[in-house]
Amino acid sequence: MSTTMTPPSSPSPTSSPAGAVAANPPAPTWSKGLEGIIAAETKMSFIDGAKGILEYVGIPIDDLARNSSFEETVYLLWNGRLPKRAELEAFTQELRGNYELPAGFVDRIQTCPKAAAPMHMLRTMVSSLSMYDANPDANDIPTARKKALAILGQTPAIIAAFDRHRRGLPFVAPRKDLSFAANFLYMLNGKEPTEAVTRAFDVCMILHADHGLNNSTFTARVIISTLSDMYSAITGAIGSLRGPLHGGANEEVMEMLNEIEQLAKSQNKAPMDIIEPFIMDRLARRNEGARIMGFGHRVYKTIDPRATFLKTFSKQIATDTGNLKLYEMSSRIEDIMKREVGAKGIYPNVDFYSATTYHSIGLKLDLFTPMFAMSRISGWAGHVLEQLDGNRLFRPTTKYVGPHDAPYVPMDKR
């Protein structure tokens, strides 16, 4: 468990000879994993983890998921208000104007090893976009914003180009007449998605756009606080997101469901019949670090509101696509987890039902986290812009727990 403590020897303000109070740093506090520490201000998303509330600029996530589009949500996050019709139209056109990759960039993607993990490819390719920018270091807000829009607009083409490359298929150029969601699915599959699939994907993009000071967002803010550059901040955030304790969990959820199916097959049983022993076994091995992926959250101690929405949504899609098996397995896991560890505040997070949603709309497992990144770039960039506006360098301290006054022992005496 995390602990918050104030060392007894915390410095107190002292008077300077002139009688003015010297600007001593604030008394240090320590919290493992920075739990409960406020490290930045934001106007983008608000989370109440006890009540299960998530709002973007004050608007409940459920309302946005039902009524908004990804483009409108990004406008909201970056401008602090919903756009008027003409503003949304202009913003959408500007984003679509950035769908194209720089000249020669597709060739670059096609030199990637086909066996590379898409998140490693994405991190590298987003980083290398900076080399095609004549002025990558400009951090004034209007220019940084343009870079944000360019990275957001280009990322779908990077992911789709790589996926087609590894399948031995030619690159499909983006289409500016399509929405962010539809264009990605079009470039990936070479055909326009149906309205229902586009809507499902768009909703996933909305739900993943921003989420307070999560690990990857914090990473982006820490990087830009050195006045580095937008590309470095987004690249670092992608590196953070891919971890299995963060955005990589959606792939792990799917792997867990696959593992249950395989195990059931090997035992000649139905998957539903082995879920209970499977989950109970993992829970029994919690002290060894075993986890039920897609459950638990640093902030939410009740069900993540994005999971609530996705649960209903994934049931609908699973019903429409005639693929209810995984939804039913997920629902059973949720019931067992609620019974066993609900009292400890361990509930489904966004990754749990997004895995089945993505699977139901035919997306490949190792693209789940890149798709999360594709949406979250909007949140990372928004935080980078907030950080640049009144920046102060992030530079926390460590609690030194090593020895003092240790002798320097000459090499031949060690």
Nearest-angstrom CA–CA distance, 403 and 414: 17
Catalytic site residue 359?
Answer: no
The one catalytic residue in 133, 202, 304, 351 is 351
Least separation in angstroms between residue 345's CB and ligand ACO is 8
Contact call for residue 308 and ligand ACO (CB under 6 A): no
Q: Is 208 a catalytic residue?
A: no
Asked if 349 interacts with ligand ACO (CB under 6 A), we say yes
Paired with 55 in beta bridges are 46, 60
- Beta carbons within 8 Å of 176's beta carbon, 6+ residues apart: 96, 97, 99, 183
Residue 279: partners with Cβ closer than 8 Å, 6 or more residues away: 292, 333, 336, 337, 340
Does 286 sit near ligand ACO (CB under 6 A)? yes
Q: What is the rounded distance in angstroms from the CA atom of residue 109 to the CA atom of residue 262?
A: 34
User: Can 351 be counted among the known catalytic residues?
Assistant: yes
How big is the site for ligand ACO, counted in residues (CB under 6 A)?
Answer: 21
Q: Is 298 in the site for ligand ACO (CB under 6 A)?
A: yes
Tell me the closest approach of the beta carbon of residue 297 to ligand ACO, in angstroms.
5
50 binds ligand ACO (CB under 6 A): no
d(CA 248, CA 69): 24
Query: In this complex, which beta carbon is closest to ligand ACO, that of residue 145 or of residue 291?
Result: 291
* Residue 129 or 241 having the CB closest to ligand ACO: 241
Q: Does residue 211 sit in helix, strand or coil?
A: strand
Q: In this structure, are strands 30-31 and 4-5 parallel, antiparallel, or unpaired? A: antiparallel
Per annotation, catalytic residue among 246, 320, 335, 366:
246
Pick the stretch among 16-24, 103-111, 134-142, 290-298 that binds ligand ACO (CB under 6 A). Answer: 290-298
Can you tell me which of 193, 247, 305, 379 binds ligand ACO, judged by CB under 6 A? 247
Site for ligand ACO contains 265 (CB under 6 A):
no
Quick one: which of 111, 133, 132, 131 has its CA closest to 121? 111
Residue (of 31, 45, 387) closest to 233 by Cα position: 387
Nearer to ligand ACO, 20 or 343 (CB): 343
**41 vs 38: CA distance, rounded Å:** 8
Residue 67: CB minimum distance to ligand ACO, A: 23
Interface with ligand ACO (CB under 6 A), residue from 123, 165, 221, 297: 297
* Encoded tokens for 135: 């002025």
Binding site for ligand ACO (CB under 6 A): 1, 33, 214, 245-247, 249, 286, 291-298, 344, 346, 349-351
Instruction: Give catalytic residues, as residue numbers.
Output: 246, 297, 351
